[in-house]
Amino acid sequence: MAPTSSLNSAGAALLVFEPEAEYRRHSLAGYWGPVTSSIDWCERNYVVTPFIAEFFNTLSNLGMIVLGLSAMYLHAREGMEARYVVAAFTLFLIGVGSAAFHGTLTHIGQQGDETPMVIGSAVWLWCLAFSDPAFEAKHPKLGSRCAWLLGAFVALFGYMHFLYSFVAVFQVLIALMVSTMVFTLTRMWRNSIDRRRSGWLFAIYLGSILIALPLWIIDQHFCVHLHSLPGGLPNPQFHAWWHLLMGANCYMGPIIHAPIRLVALGKKPSVRYWLGVLPYVQYIDGRKL
């Protein structure tokens, strides 16, 4: 049965699952008090521990946090441009904010999740828009001006979202930003000279989001069915898998984009593997050969 909308104690729209018995099981009280966020996800609250509202949805953010920190370290170590370090920091920030949201289901925790998602998307859109060094040289001040405009937009969004918690507006905005990012990077990769060697990296990038999106939808719209699977099977916690897959997607984006940017800068990039597992980009300056 589909979820219906009600109001929580703070007067905000709260996702409620029918029948009523299911909702009562879903709404156990815990350390952080009643739900004040405008969304309550499918995972039942405070089941594993009274200190974490949604245990699996919170724990799964460790993937984003670890990948974000690893990318910051590797990009800085390899002398990559600051834009890639900043993009990695936003991935780390999203992981921390999402953990705060799912761990507390509070209004302030929700802001810590959703506003960093807009920040990260804005940073990555800027990186994609200013990929071509020739374009940057032709318009030397445009990049900084766009960065300031995006910063002002994010600040305004964060303030308004804190006041009104507009869930639908946020979801539409993120959908538009992510669609633009995926489409733009896909086009760049298809036109790159090294796409054959990076094909499997791109497959992870695109495949992760194509798998994550239906899992997010199923978790939100078929929650009652996920809690009553045949044979007593447990809820597969699709929203937690969404976190893991989107962490991989966000990490792989710069790994695909950086070689394209570096070739345009006259450098020779290659993909290496930290600890034999995690891909990162290394390069040499072609003009020194």
pLDDT tens for the chain, 289 residues: list them: 333 334 444 443 344 344 445 555 556 678 888 888 888 888 999 989 999 999 999 999 999 999 999 999 999 999 999 999 999 999 999 999 999 999 999 999 999 999 999 999 999 999 999 999 999 999 999 999 999 999 999 999 999 999 888 888 898 999 999 999 999 999 999 988 777 778 899 999 999 999 999 999 999 888 888 888 898 899 999 999 999 999 999 999 999 999 999 999 999 999 999 999 999 999 987 554 3
- Cα separation, 258 vs 84, in Å, equals 8
Annotated binding residue 216:
no
- Cα separation, 33 vs 30, in Å, equals 6
Identify the pLDDT of residue 289.
36
Annotated binding residue 41:
yes
Annotated binding residue 235:
no
Identify the pLDDT of residue 24.
56
Which residues make beta-bridge pairs with 267? 285
Annotated binding residue 102:
yes
Annotated binding residue 45:
yes
Identify the pLDDT of residue 286.
58
Q: Classify the C-alpha dihedral 103-165-210-223 as positive or negative.
A: positive
Residue listed under structure tokens 């200013």? 130
The first and second tokens of residue 166, run together, are 């507009």
Q: Check if the beta carbon of residue 256 is closer than 8 Å to that of residue 191.
A: no
Annotated binding residue 20:
no
Identify the pLDDT of residue 52.
95
Annotated binding residue 40:
yes
Closest C-alpha among 263, 253, 259 to residue 272: 259
Identify the pLDDT of residue 228.
85
- Cα separation, 106 vs 63, in Å, equals 22
pTM of the complete model: 0.87
Closest C-alpha among 38, 8, 36, 33 to residue 23: 8
